[in-house]
Amino acid sequence: MKRNKRIVVIGGSAAGPKAAAKARRTDSKAEVILIQKDAELSMASCGYPYYVGGYFDDRNMLLSTPTGVTRDPAFYLNAKDIDARTNTEVTKIDPDAHTIEYRSLL
**Residue 72: other Cβ atoms inside 10 A:** 16
Confidence of residue 63 (pLDDT cuts 50, 70, 90): confident
**Which residues fall within 8 angstroms of residue 36, CB to CB, at 6 or more apart?**
11, 12, 13, 16, 84, 85, 86, 87, 88
Q: For residue range 8-62, what is the model confidence (pLDDT) as tens digits? A: 999 998 899 999 999 999 999 999 999 999 999 977 778 889 889 999 888 888 8
Higher pLDDT, 4 or 6: 6
Q: For residue range 75-106, what is the model confidence (pLDDT) as tens digits? A: 999 999 999 999 999 999 999 999 999 999 99
Q: Which of 20, 21, 15, 22 is nearest to 43 (CA)?
A: 15
Q: Could you tell me the pTM of the whole model? A: 0.86
Domains and CATH numbers, the chain: 6-91 (3.50.50.60)
Confidence of residue 1 (pLDDT cuts 50, 70, 90): low
